[in-house]
Chains A and B, each alone.
Chain A
Amino acid sequence: MTNRFDARHEEFDRRLDELAAGGGAIPPEAFADDDGDLRALAALQARLDASLRRQFSLPDAPSRGASPAPAAPPLTRVRGVSWTHRVGIAAVIVAGLFGAWSTWTQVHQWWSKPTMTVAYGGATWSSATAAYEHLVDSEFAEVWVCPRERFVDHTRRRFGTALYVDVDTVPDIVGLGLYDCGIRTTPALCFVATIDEHPAVMIIAITAFVDAKMFVDGDGLHVHRRELGPFSLFEVSPDETPHLLDHAMIVDDVGSSGDE
């Protein structure tokens, strides 16, 4: 549909730029000496800008160290707290809690202890893709962060063979933690990571207990599989190629890694 303004938009935007070289709201009165079409566009633009400023009104910026918020691990979501406190929490953590590397390490390890219900309970989902969607939708709130030693120890206790996913030095991959779960009747362990800021989940299970029907593509997600020793590893993500599977390794009893 054409209208009388079609030929005037470009001219109008040039005039706007001339009047607001550094940005800022231009009152319609600035076009008082222009013809009716430009005045009409100016009035509409002013109303449009006011609507954008109203609907995208900026929240207050966070202030460092201002909120006396409870210390919380940065890799888990603080729930039920207003956004100002959440950003304040992050600021407190950044400014105060991680000032010393040893302090950061100690806090990180303290938050690494899983409860027994999480260690051997967790949720049961109908499929690998359902597990991914739940973990992403819950913003990884239930994921517990652990250092290498605890990761290895947990898989040894849970599955009888120790496993580790070594992404510590891989660019663009950040390991977030673990979550015990079940995929229908298959006991499993989810390793959660971000790959270039996008979430990915690796489901670790013993091959003998895997029901393959539960580990198939779906809902726009791909399920990539690798077998390693007694394990079947399933990487679930929107990506067509896996990024985590190759970093999984069996860890022998003396703590060194070995190939399958």
Chain B
Amino acid sequence: MNVIGRPSADTSDPGALGPEAFAARFETAWRTLWCIAAGVLGSPQHAEDVVQDAAVIGLQKLGDFDPATNFTAWMGRIVRNLALNDARRRQRRRTYPQNPTTIDETRSAALTTADPTPIDGSGRIGPGQHAFDDEVMCGLRQLDDTARACLLLRTIMDMTYRDIARTLDIPEGTAMSHVHRARRSLREHLIHRDPATTAAGGDAP
């Protein structure tokens, strides 16, 4: 009987990855896959949904996976494609702010008065920290999706450039370049928004 959408794994092939092994590897790779999804999407929102969708597709395509190869890289490609599709779909429906100039001015004003101490004695995030976080996200969205993914894997997962390269199937030097450029781009974005962000810890400009 031919069933639409059935997993393509041939369970009679001793070399094929079975559902149990898939689940085990997926559990191990989950956080990395989440970072890839969040990097491609440019935000943590919907990253979990993308990874879940990728799990379903990965299970369906189990027969296509060679167990001798990198499972995380294989799933990472599925995650990346799904996230790109999700981002394109949401882009078509995105509404735009009515006055970007006004928003920029507001953000700059907020940063100028920002409290450089992000958390007060009671553990609350200072009022200026939200504006800083917003600017970080704004700068992050100006990066391309691969650079964002590399940056998050380095910053959130503490992955080496070698492991980032293996996961995203790019050269190690490219992974390092992406991270360096992404960091520099974000720092320059923040400095441009408010030169005072670099006043702490250094000589006054």
Q: Do A and B come from one complex?
A: yes
Interface string of A41-66 (1 = CB under 8 A from B): 11111011111111111110111100
Q: Which of B2, B23, B27 contacts A148 (CB 8 A)?
A: B2
Q: A9-B187, A83-B48, A87-B52 are in contact. Are A64 and B23 (CB under 8 A)?
A: yes
Contact between B52 and A90, CB atoms less than 8 A apart: yes
Q: A53-B155, A55-B133, A137-B89 are in contact. Are A48 and B48 (CB under 8 A)?
A: no
Contact between B30 and A41, CB atoms less than 8 A apart: no
Specify the main secondary structure of chain B where it touches its partner.
Answer: helix
Within 8 A of B (CB), among A14-67: 16-17, 21-24, 28, 36-45, 47-59, 61-64
Residues of chain A within 8 A (CB-CB) of B166 are: none
- Further 10 A-B residue pairs, CB within 8 A, beyond A53-B156, A147-B1: A3-B191, A17-B176, A38-B202, A48-B186, A75-B56, A90-B55, A94-B59, A198-B85, A219-B92, A220-B92
Cβ of B68 under 8 Å from chain A: no
Within 8 A of A (CB), among B108-161: 116, 118, 129, 132-133, 136-137, 140, 151-152, 154-160
Contact between A51 and B132, CB atoms less than 8 A apart: yes
Interface string of A127-163 (1 = CB under 8 A from B): 0000000001101000001111101000000000000
Cβ of B103 under 8 Å from chain A: no
- Residues of chain A touching chain B, judged by Cβ–Cβ distance below 8 Å, are 1, 3-5, 9-10, 13, 16-17, 21-24, 28, 36-45, 47-59, 61-64, 74-75, 83, 86-87, 90-91, 94-95, 98-99, 101, 104-105, 108-109, 136-137, 139, 145-149, 151, 167-168, 171, 174-177, 194, 196-199, 219-220, 238
How many of B's residues come within 8 Å of A, CB to CB? 76
Residues of chain A within 8 A (CB-CB) of B6 are: 104-105, 108, 168
Distance, CA A16 to CA B187, complexed state (A): 14
Q: What's the nearest-Cβ distance from chain B to residue A165, in Å?
A: 9
Cβ of B198 under 8 Å from chain A: yes
Contact between B85 and A197, CB atoms less than 8 A apart: yes
Q: What's the nearest-Cβ distance from chain B to residue A246, in Å?
A: 17
